[in-house]
């Protein structure tokens, strides 16, 4: 029999999880405090920007009902997934206020419910966070965890822009379990939703929590190392970070992923998770030199790009600059911690006149940049009259550009290619072309 699941929080991860469960035949109740989100989902309209989610929601709308009523959700499902924000505090730790609020509501409605109910915390927390949720559930329900209800910590390892792929074909499934029965129930669900038979690691809460944040911290360290390699390549004749990264990546001890060398990492997870590792280490008396150094290297990257432009083109005051790409990566509308945004801010401080264009992130960028830039309605309009174009986010739309697009629209065509999309093309011959990670 298919289990009935509730998903608490219908944001950029929660809603994709809900529609994926529905596509696999589960009956799904989605819970969100925002009635606009609830109404949109019930109408079959997708309130988040994430490839493939809108199509799945329309196709499997009959399997999902959205509500703001926890009682309905708990009473009509067997498993509740908590996918709510855990915002960063000023010291870098994660706030549990939304997790605990969800836990209290679930707990209150477990009081009068018959049968075993499994609660799964998906939101990223620091070690000790799931234990705090357990205490909230027990105190609000009057029941015992591991006996009357189960609790698991099971964070996802996904990237915005490819969430559905990350959910259906993960490298691993991680489960921190209160008891073997709970871990097995959750494993059964993942076996039905994952399409690649991934390894399932089952352990206690603490190992799972620490493993999640350390994995992300390691990836950020690898990205910062690759960005340092890119800067070194710029200083040697014929230097090419793609060649150097391939050399490194072919060694099985390293691997090729996250060695591109380009702009700083950003988004809602990597920067804060790396800072959180440093904070947790400090709290338990461990020196956290690696995550601290990684953070410092990452902060330096956007300023480095502005300085690179100054060294190649001279002063920036009055320079007309077109920036293509504002989101922290392609395939999403998220500009949080985006290196592109930080570069734009640096250009403005230097007196440049900046036009910007992004296929998905314009509205979110306006909330950050305000009236300090010109928001172009199209790629071509963004280029008009510019003396420099910065290709900052490697959207597919930008990969189709030809030298003529720049020559036709720009007044003095120069291109900074942050991801070396055109390094082996005629761009070098027809434009003033330079790139991150390439030597002169």
- Domain co-membership, 320 together with 364: yes
Are 46 and 166 in the same domain? yes
Same domain for 401 and 338, yes or no, is yes
Average pLDDT value for residue range 22-39: 96
Residues 419 and 335 in one domain: yes
Single out the catalytic residue among 46, 145, 233, 269: 269
* Phi-psi group of 365: left, alpha or beta (phi > 0 → left; psi -120 to 50 → alpha; rest → beta): alpha
Q: What is the pLDDT of residue 135?
A: 98
Look at residue 1 and tell me whether its pLDDT is greater than 80: no
293 shares a domain with 148: no
The 8-class DSSP code of residue 95 comes to P
Average pLDDT of the chain to the nearest whole number: 96
- Residue at 400 is within a domain: yes
Tell me which residue of 157, 146, 282 sits closest to 219, measured CA to CA.
157
Domain boundary among 203, 227, 258: 203
Inter-axis angle of helices 289-313 and 270-283, nearest 10:
140
166 and 283 part of one domain: no
Domain shared by 193 and 245, yes or no: no
Say yes or no to pLDDT of 112 above 90: no
Q: What letter does residue 143 receive in the DSSP assignment? A: -
Query: Is residue 194 annotated as a catalytic residue, yes or no?
Result: no
Domain residues for the domain of 400 are 237-435
Number of domains in the chain: 2
The pLDDT tens digits of the residues spanning 34-55 come to 999 999 999 999 999 999 999 9
**pLDDT at 410 (0 to 100):** 97
Answer yes or no: is 263 within a domain: yes
pLDDT confidence of residue 311? 92
Percent of the chain with pLDDT over 90: 97
List pLDDT tens digits, range 412-425: 899 999 999 999 88
For residue 191, being part of any structural domain is answered with yes
Distance CA 94, CA 84 (A): 12
Q: For 70-92, what is the mean pLDDT? A: 96
Please tell me whether residues 124 and 266 are part of one structural domain: no
pLDDT for position 3: 79
State pLDDT tens for residues 143-193: 999 999 999 999 999 999 999 999 999 999 999 999 999 999 999 999 999
Per-residue pLDDT band at 103 (split at 50, 70, 90): very high
My answer on whether 117 and 190 are in the same domain is yes
- In sequence order, the β-bridge partners of residue 326 are none
CB 326 within 8 A of CB 392: yes
Pair (195, 241) in one structural domain: no
**Domain end point (choices 203, 224, 258):** 203
Each residue of 214-263: pLDDT tens digit? 999 999 999 999 999 999 999 999 999 999 999 999 999 999 999 999 99
pLDDT value of position 113:
92
**Domain assignment of residue 210, yes or no:** no
Give residue for tokens 């200083």.
Answer: 235
pLDDT at residue number 2: 61
Q: Which of 180, 203, 226 is the last residue of a domain?
A: 203
Do both 27 and 136 map to the same domain?
A: yes
CATH number for the domain that contains residue 179: 3.40.50.720
pLDDT grade for 315, boundaries at 50, 70 and 90: confident
State pLDDT tens for residues 262-283: 999 999 999 999 999 999 999 9
Whether residues 196 and 256 fall in one domain: no
Structure tokens that stand for 188 in this block: 């059964």
Residue 67 lies in a domain: yes
Q: Is 404 exposed, middle or buried (0-12, 13-18, 19+ CB in 10 A)?
A: exposed
Mean predicted confidence (pLDDT) in 357-368: 97
Asked, for residue 311, whether it belongs to a domain, the answer is yes
């Amino acid at each position: 029999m298919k289990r009935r699941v509730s998903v608490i929080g219908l944001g950029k991860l929660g809603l994709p999880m809900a529609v994926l469960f529905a596509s696999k035949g589960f009956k799904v109740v989605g819970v969100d405090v925002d009635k606009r989100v609830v109404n949109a989902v019930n109408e079959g309209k997708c309130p988040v920007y994430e490839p493939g989610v809108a199509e799945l929601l329309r196709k499997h709308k009959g399997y999902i009902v959205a509500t703001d009523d926890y009682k309905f959700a708990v009473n009509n499902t067997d498993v509740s997934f908590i996918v709510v924000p855990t915002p960063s505090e000023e010291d870098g730790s994660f706030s549990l206020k939304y997790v605990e609020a969800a836990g209290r509501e679930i707990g209150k409605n477990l009081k009068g419910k018959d049968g075993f109910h499994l609660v799964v915390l998906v939101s990223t927390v620091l070690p000790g966070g799931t234990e705090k949720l357990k205490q909230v559930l027990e105190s609000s329900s009057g029941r015992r965890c591991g006996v009357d209800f189960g609790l698991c910590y099971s964070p996802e390892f996904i990237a915005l822009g490819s969430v559905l792929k990350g959910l259906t074909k993960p490298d691993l499934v991680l489960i921190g379990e209160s008891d073997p029965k709970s871990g097995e129930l959750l494993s059964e669900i993942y076996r039905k939703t994952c399409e690649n038979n991934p390894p399932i690691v089952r352990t206690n809460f603490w190992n799972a929590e620490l493993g999640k944040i350390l994995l992300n911290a390691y990836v950020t360290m690898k990205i910062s190392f690759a960005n340092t390699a890119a800067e070194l390549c710029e200083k040697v004749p014929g230097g090419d970070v793609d060649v150097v990264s391939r050399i490194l990546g072919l060694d099985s001890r390293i691997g090729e992923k996250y060695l591109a060398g380009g702009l700083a990492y950003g988004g809602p997870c990597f920067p804060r998770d790396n800072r959180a590792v440093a904070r947790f280490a400090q709290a338990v008396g461990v020196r956290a030199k690696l995550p601290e150094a990684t953070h410092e290297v990452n902060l330096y990257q956007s300023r480095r790009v502005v300085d690179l432009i100054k060294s190649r083109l001279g002063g920036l005051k009055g320079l007309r600059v077109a920036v293509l790409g504002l989101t922290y990566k392609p395939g999403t509308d998220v500009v949080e911690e985006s290196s592109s945004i930080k570069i734009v801010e640096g250009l403005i401080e230097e007196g440049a006149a900046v036009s910007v264009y992004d296929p998905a992130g314009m509205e979110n960028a306006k909330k950050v940049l305000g009236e300090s830039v010109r928001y172009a309605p199209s790629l071509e309009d963004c280029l008009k009259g510019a003396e420099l174009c910065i290709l900052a986010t490697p959207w597919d739309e930008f990969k189709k550009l030809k030298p003529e697009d720049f020559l036709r629209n720009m007044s003095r065509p120069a291109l900074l290619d942050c991801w070396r999309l055109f390094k082996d093309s005629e761009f070098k011959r027809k434009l003033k072309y330079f790139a991150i990670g390439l030597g002169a």
